[in-house]
Amino acid sequence: MTKLSRLIRLSLAATLLAAAAGVPGASAADRVLRIGYQKYGTLILLKGKGTLEEKLKPLGVTVRWAEFQFGPPLLEAVNAGAIDFGTTGEAPPIFAQAASDRLAYVANDPASPRGEAILVPKDSPIRTLADLKGKNIAVAKGSNSHYLLVKALEKGGVPYSDVTLSWLAPADARSAFTRGSVDAWSVWDPYYAAAEAAGARVLTDGTGIVENHQFFLTSRDYAKDNEDVLRAVLSELRAVEEWVAKDPAAAAAELAPLVGIPAPLLTTAISRQGLGVQPVTPEVVAAQQRIADTFLKLKLLPKPIVVEDAVLKLKTAEVAK
């Protein structure tokens, strides 16, 4: 078992234990919404503001939060029934759908191709995508930046088999990159912004290579009986994203102590982020299907999937229109 696999399973196990523990003082009749979030983005801001809890009180819903370092373990928790709602980049839902038919897309943010990049040390001899041939590259397996790397190699004419991949979660990848154990690092914001500020050179971002949507996801089982809750969550997320778009400096200042990254770096990251919760359109579904087909062709996906089958066909997304 790889270190990454152990990390995913430990994260999932911890979340399952937390979910099984119950809510102190809550009766069996109470409803609970378990949200998986990452240390960046609008969900963590929503958590900090506490407005969702107030919005859901009239519905008798208690909110519980679980932190994940990146998308794949978060969606494993959705598939396992340990959490009910979360957000990830574009690639993790592909693998999650291949693993289970429980997953459901609820909504997404606009594309943000500038929000992820392939980085190299500032004095690296790597100057073009073609120069990645034969190099060791750090990336989180199954992440949005994994797909960026796949498409960047394709653009540079480098066969996927001609690079060595170090499957590392962001914190471990940052350490490996800093000490020179890898030649390049494919990663998303705010890790990208922090590494760039520390002197890393951008070989390419996602512009012209990937779309990089952020998705909000749930399970079919949860959506079936909790459409009112999902509508409330999307409403509050839309309000938070409108605030971030109007005052990114204030959002960065509020986010900084939560993620341990200076506000100026977060302001840079926010400027590259697509904001505005939207329904999942046929165009977005088609983009996701291209990702699925690409990973299948590389034999990284265990079986073909039809992305459209996982799109929630309820009124939930109407709140984002």
Nearest Cα neighbor of 289 from 98, 141, 106 is 98
Cα 190 from Cα 269, distance rounded (Å): 6
User: End-to-end CA distance of the chain, in Å?
Assistant: 44
Q: Could you give the CA distance from residue 254 to residue 267 in angstroms, rounded to a whole number?
A: 11
- Number of Cβ within 10 Å of residue 155's Cβ equals 13
- C-alpha distances in angstroms, 12 versus 63, 79, 201? 19, 10, 34
pLDDT in tens, the chain (321 residues): 444 444 444 444 444 444 444 433 334 347 999 999 998 889 999 999 999 999 999 999 999 999 998 899 999 999 999 999 999 999 999 999 999 999 999 999 999 999 999 999 999 999 999 999 999 999 999 999 999 999 999 999 999 999 999 999 999 999 999 999 999 999 999 999 999 999 999 999 999 999 999 999 999 999 999 999 999 999 999 999 999 999 999 999 999 998 889 999 999 999 999 999 999 999 999 999 999 999 999 999 999 999 999 999 765 445 444
Number of CB atoms found within 10 A of residue 121's CB: 18
Rounded to whole angstroms, what are the CA distances from 315 to 58, 117, 286?
20, 35, 21
Contact 74, 110 (CB under 8 A): no
Q: Which of 127, 152, 112 is nearest to 275 (CA)?
A: 112
- Give residue-wise pLDDT tens across range 250-259: 999 999 998 8
Enumerate residues 6+ apart whose C-beta is below 8 A from 151.
209, 210, 294
pLDDT of residue 133: 98
Instruction: Please give the DSSP secondary-structure letter assigned to residue 278.
Output: B
- Domains in the chain with CATH codes: 3-112+213-320 (3.40.190.10), 113-205 (3.40.190.10)
Report the distance separating Cα 164 and Cα 149, nearest Å.
12
Q: What is the pLDDT of residue 315?
A: 59
Half-sphere CA count of 181, side-chain side, radius 13 A:
14
Is the pTM higher than 0.95?
no
Which residues make Cβ contacts (< 8 Å) with residue 209, sequence separation at least 6?
113, 148, 151, 152, 155
Point out which residues pair with 21 in neighbouring strands.
none
Distance, in Å, from the CA atom of 50 to the CA atom of 27, rounded to the nearest integer, reads 22
**Is the distance from CB of 62 to CB of 111 less than 8 angstroms?**
no
Q: Tokens for 4, please give them.
A: 């990454």
Q: Give DSSP secondary structure letters for 207-248.
A: TTT-----EEEEEHHHHHH-HHHHHHHHHHHHHHHHHHHH-H
DSSP label at residue 118: E
Q: Work out the angle at residue 73's Cα, subtended by the Cα atoms of residues 34 and 98, and round it to the nearest 5 degrees.
A: 105
What pLDDT score does 259 carry? 86
